[in-house]
């Protein structure tokens, strides 16, 4: 048996280990008690201060990483197998809402919007990303409560009636009640509805698949995307006429808010990708009847493009045809095309 490849890999790993050891040995020697005593109090305090700042900076970089997109059907299938449940209509949609909310709370660093300690208090990109996701959770939980789980003449589901207000808790509440606790309570109530929906003898939980139910939610999505697209475009300033056409008004996003709007839009799109993929599964028959599958697929593709890696260390705000990029305008173009698709999908579902 030829062990030469294994030996080469082992030798390579040993070299890496030795390199790291040689690199860290003098660094760790700085923190040795004898060295600290020899250098004096002032030098030791400066070293510890720099170390703390470096640690906080690296921690902030790690926490500022956007979560990856997950497979909504795969996670729903795993949960169904864990609980020995059947994936009934509505199972994927409900579980996707649960998983998106769980990701909001359990991603690297946890939920940061209400933190009052460093490094969270100095971070604004991830809290704005969270705000974009949270708005979509609120809209989708409202749609699940009012549109997907009952007809216009039926009473609302008791778990969903309690869950939706939980997600409307102040997103920056850090003390009794904390945002995380209320959102977790909402997730638990959604879990109750999901398990009742999948129960073999279910007579209480309902999930209604209909074009009108879906249109109501899509109308809210179109408003969100339209608003975000306009705010992103305003990064370079826009001249608009007043309502009475009497004067021209300039709309421009303050330069201190440009990255806030950018990451809010990224979070919004991240959540929408999952919700639309879930809708594609549970509303498959409706989409096929209205020949809307390709429209939905194109919307998802536009939204997926918004999740590309941002290689710049900061959100650039160059002019339209200037030397530097304008990340807000690029993101706005994707959102505009996605919003056009949402409106087209809305109209297709309304055709008889």
Query: What CA–CA distances, in Å, run from 122 to 60, 115, 162, 342?
Result: 9, 10, 34, 36
pLDDT of residue 3: 66
Please state whether 107 falls in left (phi above 0), alpha (psi between -120 and 50) or beta: beta
Residue stretches of the chain with pLDDT short of 50: 1
In this structure, are residues 149 and 161 in contact, taking their beta carbons and an 8 Å threshold?
Answer: no
Distance CA 206, CA 193 (A): 9
Name the DSSP class of 241: E
pLDDT of residue 244: 58
In this structure, are residues 322 and 331 in contact, taking their beta carbons and an 8 Å threshold?
Answer: no
pLDDT of residue 252: 73
In this structure, are residues 278 and 136 in contact, taking their beta carbons and an 8 Å threshold?
Answer: no
User: For the whole prediction, is pTM greater than 0.85?
Assistant: yes
Name the DSSP class of 69: P
Answer positive or negative: Cα dihedral of 50, 56, 58, 61. Answer: negative
pLDDT of residue 320: 66
Could you tell me which residues come within 8 angstroms of residue 57 by beta carbon, excluding any fewer than 6 positions away?
119
* pLDDT tens, residue by residue, 139-158: 999 999 999 998 776 788 99
In this structure, are residues 321 and 207 in contact, taking their beta carbons and an 8 Å threshold?
Answer: no
Distance CA 77, CA 320 (A): 46
In this structure, are residues 124 and 260 in contact, taking their beta carbons and an 8 Å threshold?
Answer: yes
Pairing mode, if any, of strands 238-241 and 248-251?
A: antiparallel
Would you tell me how many other CB atoms lie within 10 Å of the CB of residue 228? 24
- What tokens were used for 37? 């005593």
Distance CA 112, CA 130 (A): 8
Distance CA 267, CA 134 (A): 8
């Amino acid at each position: 048996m030829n062990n030469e490849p294994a030996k080469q890999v082992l030798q390579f790993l040993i070299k890496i280990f030795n390199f790291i050891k040689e690199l860290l040995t003098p660094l760790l020697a700085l923190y040795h008690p004898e060295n600290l005593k020899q250098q004096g109090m002032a030098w030791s305090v400066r070293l510890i201060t720099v170390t703390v700042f470096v640690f906080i900076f690296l921690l902030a970089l790690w926490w500022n990483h956007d979560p990856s997109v997950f497979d909504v059907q795969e996670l729903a299938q795993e949960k169904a197998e864990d609980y020995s449940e059947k994936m009934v209509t509505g199972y994927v949609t409900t579980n996707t809402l649960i998983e998106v909310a769980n990701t909001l709370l359990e991603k690297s660093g946890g939920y940061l919007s209400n933190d009052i300690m460093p490094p969270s208090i100095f971070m604004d990109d991830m809290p704005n990303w969270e705000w974009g996701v949270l708005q979509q959770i609120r809209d989708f939980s409202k749609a699940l409560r009012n549109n997907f789980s009952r007809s216009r003449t039926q009473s609302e589901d008791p778990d969903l009636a309690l869950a939706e207000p939980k997600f409307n808790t102040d997103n920056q509440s850090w003390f009794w009640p904390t945002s995380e606790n209320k959102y977790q309570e909402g997730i638990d109530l959604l879990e109750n509805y999901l398990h009742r929906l999948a129960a073999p003898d279910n007579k209480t939980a309902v999930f209604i698949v209909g074009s009108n139910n879906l249109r109501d939610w899509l109308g809210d999505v179109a408003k969100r995307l339209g608003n975000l697209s306009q705010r992103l475009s305003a990064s370079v300033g826009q001249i608009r006429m007043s309502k009475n056409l009497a004067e021209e008004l300039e709309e421009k996003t303050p330069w201190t808010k440009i990255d806030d709007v950018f990451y809010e839009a990224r979070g919004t799109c991240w959540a929408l990708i999952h919700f639309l993929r879930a809708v594609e599964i549970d509303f498959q028959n409706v989409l096929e009847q209205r020949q809307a599958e390709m429209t939905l697929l194109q919307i998802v593709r536009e939204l997926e493009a918004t999740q590309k890696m941002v290689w710049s260390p900061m959100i650039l705000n160059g002019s339209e045809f200037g030397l530097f990029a304008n990340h807000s305008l690029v993101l706005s173009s994707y959102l505009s095309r996605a919003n056009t698709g949402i409106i087209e999908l809305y109209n297709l579902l309304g055709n008889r």
